Structure 1
């Protein structure tokens, strides 16, 4: 298990390039199973979750060829369906929540699949009903082995259907779209997720020969085709990394330029950080954050306390609420952070309170942050990263704090952030990775 040793209080400066989007990568990589032809993908992030999925694709028989630092070729001409019955598959798929998105492509192309109950972050209940109900409406039949926590799915005759999703699940929508792309007849998906990463998947499938209308909306129409072809795809910059870097710059009073940020795809992320008082300039596709000694949280028009809550796209992504929370600790003013989607994501605030932050955890979903306006600096402590996003929030807090901090279990951070310690050191951060 690795740890980060961090000496805080250093002002950073320079340029940083965001990695390819993790949440997009987990969808796009699974989509290579839809065709026996070569699929070339660029801007693949070198992070634990993505590398685990690539390793799983190799085990399934997909030919994987790395042609550049961030580029791969995938050819799923031969897929070993017998691998599903192995203990190795069970272990690897169960450790990666993204493995759930193998189902859609496998059902579409081969008519069957098996998967253990997937793993992932311990951030609250993350049900799979949306995926499975969608597959069932397309004609799939399920058998669950409760003793082994294993799902067997028969989809030998998928047919198009009208599907009204009970929640606008991004991964659920992606899975159903991939399955429907080769189902017989027309599928309509209402209350579909419409995140940029889902749009990217749909555009990639269209280039492969799929027939999808309504991309970017919550109403998708899919006409099934008999086969899909190879294609080339470049992933968007990771919006969660970009939001994290904006927060990092503000907390450490640093002047940072985020290069090639894909500004048009960020939605209200920049505006939400601006409501916390963070200044930024858009220079083409770059975001420049100047050094700020103070930043002040806005209030609503009637003077009431600002509330920042997560919502389905085009609302504010839940993956950045923990960043908003930590950034608010050194702002001037008060904000209520409302995490609606996951009931355990705010529990990391006890570490921030130990560092000197003024936070009231109202309940599992809401926390009130009273900004200190830098009158009292955070202090370094020893802590453990509970999940990817909380881990980076604690890292940002440690980089801004007085003294030395230690963050254990940084493998959680590595799941979502590519070489984060190396990249931050290039900006002037004092951070060391220690293996134990």
Structure 2
């Protein structure tokens, strides 16, 4: 078992470049199945989840040329459809939530797909209803086979349709958009997700010959085409990693310059950290987080306690609530963290409390953080990473704590953060990967 051994208390300094966006990578890599021509994707993050998806494509007989760790050329000329119904695919895709998005591309091109029970984080129930209901609108037959555990999807042809999504699911919208690109007629998707990563997918598909309008809004109109061609695509920097570095700098009283962040695609993320009292200096496409001895959480105009909650884009992403929560530990003041989307994502706070944080877990969705204001330091402990984002929140806490911490189950962190230990070592962090 690999662990991180962390000795906290160091102030970090230097520049860091965020990796390519994990959530975008999973979408656009699935989209290569829509064409038999070459698709080149750049700025791919070198992380477990993305590498697992690339392995899946190779096993589906997609030609994969890994030019380097961040650039890959795909050619899905002769896809092995039957592999998607194999035990090998079921086991591998069960470790990766994003594999569900293979279905939309396969249905568009081959009118056939298989979906196993989805994998990924243990952060609460993550249902497939949005995907299934959307596919049914195209006239796709969906049957769950109890014996093999797969959803079997098939259709003679996909027919464009109007659909009002029950929730603005990002993966659900991506899956439906990919299916709609080659459906017969026009598909209108209302209450669609409009995250920058979904916008990137739509722009890539349009370069391939798709006809998608309304990009950036929650109303997408897709006119089906008969054929999609190859393209080149560059993935955005990962907004979750950018937010993580902001929180890390504040908690460790560090001076960090985050380079090439694509500021226009960050939405309200900088504002939420500024609400915690963190100074951000934005110059061009870089964010500088200077050393701060202290930071004070803002209050509402009427004096009420600040609440930070997740909301579909352009609201605040749920993937950064764990980071905001841990960053608030050493602030002056209090904040209510309201995690609406997942019922198990706040359960890691027991470890932060053991480290000395003052946090009240109100229920599975809400926690109140009472800032320590630097009056006392956190103390190092042994803990385990329950999911990607909580794992990095615990890592941030460990880097700010007195003494040594051991973080177990770091495979969860590796799923979403590229070589995080060596990149933080370059900034002066005392972090070591070892096997126990």
Query: Superposed, which structure 2 residues align to 1:389-400 within 5 Å?
Result: 389-400=389-400
Deviation at 1:155, TM superposition (A): 2.4
Q: Alignment partner of 2:241: what SS?
A: helix
Is 1:213–2:213 an aligned residue pair?
A: yes
Q: Alignment partner of 1:118: what SS?
A: coil
Partner of 1:402: 402
Deviation at 1:291, TM superposition (A): 0.4
Q: For structure 1, which runs of at least 5 residues remain unmatched after alignment?
A: none
Partner of 1:357: 357
C-alpha separation in 2, matches of 1:48 and 1:155 = 33
Query: Superposed, which structure 2 residues align to 1:15-94 within 5 Å?
Result: 15-94=15-94
Partner of 2:340: 340
Deviation at 1:7, TM superposition (A): 0.3
Give TM-score scaled by structure 1 length.
Answer: 0.99
Deviation at 1:236, TM superposition (A): 0.3
Q: Alignment partner of 1:383: what SS?
A: strand
C-alpha separation in 1, matches of 2:128 and 2:85 = 21
Partner of 2:266: 266
Q: For structure 2, which runs of at least 5 residues remain unmatched after alignment?
A: none
After the TM superposition, which of the residue ranges 331-340 and 91-100 deviates more from structure 2? Answer: 91-100
C-alpha separation in 1, matches of 2:149 and 2:334 = 45
Deviation at 1:156, TM superposition (A): 2.4
Q: Alignment partner of 2:330: what SS?
A: coil
Partner of 1:107: 107
Partner of 2:116: 116
* Cα deviation 1:198-242 (Å, max 9, x = unaligned): 000000000000000100000000000001000000000000000
C-alpha separation in 1, matches of 2:231 and 2:147 = 40
Partner of 2:420: 420
C-alpha separation in 2, matches of 1:339 and 1:42 = 33
C-alpha separation in 2, matches of 1:59 and 1:139 = 29
Partner of 1:311: 311
C-alpha separation in 1, matches of 2:6 and 2:377 = 15
Is 1:228–2:201 an aligned residue pair?
A: no
Give TM-score scaled by structure 2 length.
Answer: 0.99
* Cα deviation 1:1-54 (Å, max 9, x = unaligned): 210000000000000000000000000000000000000000000000000000
Q: Alignment partner of 1:372: what SS?
A: coil
* Cα deviation 1:320-368 (Å, max 9, x = unaligned): 0000000000000000000000000000000000000000000000000
C-alpha separation in 1, matches of 2:427 and 2:156 = 53
Deviation at 1:146, TM superposition (A): 2.4
C-alpha separation in 2, matches of 1:198 and 1:87 = 30
Partner of 1:161: 161
Please identify runs of 4+ aligned residues in structure 1 that moved more than 3 A. none
Deviation at 1:245, TM superposition (A): 0.1
Q: Alignment partner of 2:361: what SS?
A: strand
The two structures, once aligned, show a CA RMSD in angstroms of: 0.6
Query: Superposed, which structure 2 residues align to 1:126-275 within 5 Å?
Result: 126-275=126-275
Q: Alignment partner of 2:229: what SS?
A: coil
C-alpha separation in 1, matches of 2:94 and 2:432 = 31
C-alpha separation in 1, matches of 2:203 and 2:28 = 11
Deviation at 1:68, TM superposition (A): 2.6
C-alpha separation in 2, matches of 1:353 and 1:79 = 50
C-alpha separation in 1, matches of 2:429 and 2:105 = 42
Partner of 2:289: 289
Deviation at 1:256, TM superposition (A): 0.1
C-alpha separation in 2, matches of 1:47 and 1:69 = 10
Deviation at 1:118, TM superposition (A): 1.2
